[in-house]
């Protein structure tokens, strides 16, 4: 299965809507284990994505992901900008190079986050959402349950990366804000695939 331009656009636009509708929630999650600004930072990135698309409507999927990447890198502070940016930039290069399946594309994004953040599954980061989604897509088993159970798992982990890692055991029982914004990304994808 591949995402064509119309659906890819719908996906990113839905993500923008979800993040902006949940800005306060993301800030609240970040207040518990970070510096309380993930929602604000992500909102800035979402506005940058909207501005970028309004200036120049992407003509292909590679351009769409590239524009998304640059908006995130330039406008989202903290670790999230470079991490999302790397994921979408790598995805942009991958769709440009070959006619890549959606499952493989999400894995490319996941690998980009792992490389940029020098992290992996089990460290209470957004990877704990990206990797299960990628696996589920590979097995043709992607649904809301995958996202929900990935978020539940994140909650029980102890953070070993980022600002939340300073809290050590106290980070347990909290949802990582980057994992939550990634959940919005993939809930948006699910809506597009369900259409």
- Which residue segments constitute the domains of the chain, with CATH numbers given? 5-194 (1.25.40.340)
d(CA 104, CA 1): 10
- pLDDT at residue 57 in the model: 97
- pLDDT at residue 162 in the model: 84
- pLDDT at residue 6 in the model: 97
d(CA 122, CA 125): 8
- pLDDT at residue 165 in the model: 86
- pLDDT at residue 78 in the model: 85
Radius of gyration of the chain, Cα coordinates, nearest whole angstrom: 15
- pLDDT at residue 73 in the model: 96
Q: How far is CA 166 from CA 33, 35, 92, 93, 161, in A?
A: 9, 12, 34, 35, 9
- pLDDT at residue 99 in the model: 84
Binned average pLDDT, 10 residues per bin, the chain of 195 residues: 95 98 97 94 98 97 98 93 98 93 98 96 96 98 98 94 86 94 98 91
Q: How far is CA 116 from CA 80, 106, 110, 157, in A?
A: 11, 15, 10, 21
Give pTM, 2 decimals. 0.96
Q: How far is CA 160 from CA 25, 41, 72, 119, 122, in A?
A: 23, 22, 24, 9, 9
For residue 142, the SS3 value is coil
């Amino acid at each position: 299965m591949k995402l064509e331009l119309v659906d890819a656009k719908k996906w990113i636009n839905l993500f923008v809507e979800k993040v902006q509708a949940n800005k306060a929630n993301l800030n609240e999650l970040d207040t518990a284990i970070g510096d309380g600004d993930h929602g604000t930072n992500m909102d800035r990135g979402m506005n940058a994505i909207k501005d970028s698309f309004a200036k120049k409507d992407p003509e292909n999927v590679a351009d769409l992901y590239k524009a998304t990447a640059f908006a995130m890198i330039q406008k989202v502070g903290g670790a999230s900008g470079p991490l999302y940016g790397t994921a979408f930039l790598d995805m942009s290069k991958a769709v440009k190079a070959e006619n890549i399946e959606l499952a493989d594309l999400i894995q490319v994004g996941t690998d980009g986050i792992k490389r940029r953040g020098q992290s992996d599954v089990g460290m209470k980061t957004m990877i704990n959402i990206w990797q299960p989604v990628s696996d589920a897509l590979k097995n043709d088993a992607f649904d809301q349950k995958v996202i929900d159970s990935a978020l539940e798992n994140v909650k029980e982990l102890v953070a070993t990366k980022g600002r939340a890692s300073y809290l050590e055991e106290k980070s347990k029982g909290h949802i990582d804000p980057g994992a939550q914004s990634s959940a919005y990304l993939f809930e948006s994808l699910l809506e597009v695939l369900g259409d």
